[in-house]
Amino acid sequence: MIPVAPAAHYSCGGIQVDAFGRTSIQRLYSCGEAASTGLHGANRLASNSLLEAMVFGKRSFEDTIAHISQYSLQSDIPDWNASGTSEPKEMILITQSIKEIQLAMSDYVGIVRSNVRLERAMKRLDLLHEETEQLYKTTTLSPQLCELRNLITVGYLIVKSAQFRKESRGLHYNIDYPTKSAIKQNIVW
């Protein structure tokens, strides 16, 4: 049997962008479902977001190319120093933590949310962050460990943004705030 689960629309429409996909962070662009372009509401239809991703992806690319000469790249970055670290003895600690994040986000921050679920997700992320940072300090860097750290960061941002939202709008539904507010909330990470 193949398990069927809702799509991961955790951050759909949450990052405010301009007409070129630029965010409020210099040189950081967003397009597709994560971007809030103003073209669609809090819901997405697959064909709409695909078209939007293509248009804003192209605009973001063209804007980057037009301004690339203004960017300077730091060239004096030292090589990674792995002294004092060792190979992870139990890779299961990393892979299991990744599964825990996926499960917590799906169960507590999925289509239907509540303040209790969001708080529980945040506690799980806090614990995973603490454990992961200990691994990061003592084991050799690996793609899996980097992925885990990134997942924790993104999960934290999504949960914190959902906790700030005091309304339900589109697929951002919280049973503690079942109605849409009269004033559109601009939730920007």
Q: Is the pLDDT of residue 188 over 50?
A: no
176 or 10: which leads in pLDDT: 176
> According to DSSP H, which parts of 20-171 are helical?
46-67, 92-108, 115-138, 143-164
Of 116, 189, 129, nearest in space to 158 by CA:
189
**Half-sphere exposure (CA, 13 Å, Cβ side) for 71?**
12
For the record, the structure tokens of 161 come out as 């943004």
Percent over 70 (pLDDT), the chain:
85
* pLDDT at residue 39 in the model: 77
Q: Is the pLDDT of residue 79 over 60?
A: yes
Percent over 90 (pLDDT), the chain:
40
* pLDDT at residue 142 in the model: 86
Find the helix or strand (DSSP H, E) in which 173 lies: strand 173-174
99 Cβ contact list (under 8 Å, min separation 6): none
**Phi and psi (nearest 5°) for 112?**
-110, 125
Identify the structural domains of the chain with CATH numbers, from first to last. Answer: 15-70 (no CATH), 92-174 (1.20.58.100)
For the record, the structure tokens of 34 come out as 């994560």
* pLDDT at residue 189 in the model: 39
Q: Is the pLDDT of residue 184 over 70?
A: no
